[in-house]
Amino acid sequence: MSTHGEIRKVTTHRLQEMKQAGEKIAMLTAYDFTMARLIDKAGIDVILVGDSASNIMAGHETTLPITLDQMIYHAASVIRGVQRALVVVDLPFGSYQGNSKEALNSAIRIMKETGAHAVKMEGGSEIEESVRRILSAGIPVMGHLGLTPQSIYKFGTYTVRAREEKEAAKLRADAALLEELGCFSIVLEKVPAALGREVAQSLHIPVIGIGAGSGVDGQVLVTHDMLGINHEFRPRFLRQYLQLHELMTHAFQQYIQDVKTGQFPSTSEQY
């Protein structure tokens, strides 16, 4: 809150100040209005409308199938629930890799049709031209290095990236390039903690980790994972703050039983 009681919105500039002050940045995903409103009111700094919606919302095995129109639908729903957080939207697979003009059009559609504040893009030097073009239109870009799920068929697995020096060197160079181009932040996914710390210390922009250790400038988790809705997904980096799978299953079973036995609705639950 400001001194006048208005909400002080989180901006890319504010994230920069947080890095300089050594204040950690908290980021979570949301794909819909209700969840976004809850997370925003809890005081989150950044909400990511991740293309993980492809897995979590649509049940796909990878993030590749989600379309730009579908991301726009999710992002517009999220924005309606947010008053304070910075909202970043993933550019989906196929909307920016091939051609920088198409990349700019995709980013412009996201900004115009959703009211979001920034876009996120996976990759380093391979997408330099697209990043440059989007930034030149005044659209803030968050980078994403390390495990980049849109390239899962190139990697073959979701294991930790950049354990080998050659890949770590490329990641360091890509991180420096993204900062030099003008990205306001970078997500670093599933890399050794020592590398995460080194990259965060070498850059002026905030580095937000997921499975990148404690030495980075902030953390991001997929909300449904940290709530324990999908109880089969238990990677080492994930802390589950609730076991919602069990709680929700129990509530559904209780409801079914109450309906079947006639215990719901009671006399006080009818007109």
What minimum distance in Å lies between the beta carbon of 84 and ligand KIV?
20
What minimum distance in Å lies between the beta carbon of 52 and ligand KIV?
3
- Cα separation, 260 vs 265, whole angstroms: 11
Asked if residue 28 binds ligand KIV (CB under 6 A), the reply is no
Out of 122, 179, 189, 198, the active site residue is: 189
What minimum distance in Å lies between the beta carbon of 207 and ligand KIV?
12
Asked if residue 116 binds ligand KIV (CB under 6 A), the reply is no
What is the widest separation between alpha-carbon atoms in the chain?
70
What minimum distance in Å lies between the beta carbon of 60 and ligand KIV?
12
Residues near ligand KIV (CB under 6 A), total: 11
Residue entry with tokens 């990878």: 62
What minimum distance in Å lies between the beta carbon of 90 and ligand KIV?
5
Considering the complex, state which of residue 168 and residue 210 has its C-beta at the smaller distance from ligand KIV: 210
Task: Answer for the pair 33, 78: CB distance below 8 angstroms, yes or no.
Answer: yes
State both tokens at 161: 């990236």
Tell me, yes or no, if 269 is annotated catalytic: no
- Cα separation, 211 vs 209, whole angstroms: 6
From the list 32-40, 46-54, 169-177, 257-265, the region that binds ligand KIV by CB under 6 A is 46-54
Asked if residue 15 binds ligand KIV (CB under 6 A), the reply is no
Among 44, 46, 50, 198, binds ligand KIV (CB under 6 A): 50
Asked if residue 90 binds ligand KIV (CB under 6 A), the reply is yes
What minimum distance in Å lies between the beta carbon of 124 and ligand KIV?
15
Residue with smallest beta-carbon separation from ligand KIV: 50
Q: How many CB atoms lie within 10 A of CB 29?
A: 27
- List of residues 6+ apart from 200 with CB closer than 8 A: 188, 206, 207, 209, 215, 216, 217
Binding-site string for ligand KIV from residue 163 to residue 202, where x marks contact by CB under 6 A and - marks none: ------------------------x-x-------------
Task: Answer for the pair 12, 185: CB distance below 8 angstroms, yes or no.
Answer: yes
Asked if residue 220 binds ligand KIV (CB under 6 A), the reply is yes
Task: Answer for the pair 178, 131: CB distance below 8 angstroms, yes or no.
Answer: yes
From the list 49-57, 68-76, 106-114, 151-159, the region that binds ligand KIV by CB under 6 A is 49-57
Considering the complex, state which of residue 104 and residue 210 has its C-beta at the smaller distance from ligand KIV: 210
Show which residues are catalytic: 189
Residue ranges in contact with ligand KIV by CB under 6 A: 29, 48, 50-52, 90, 187, 189, 210, 220, 222
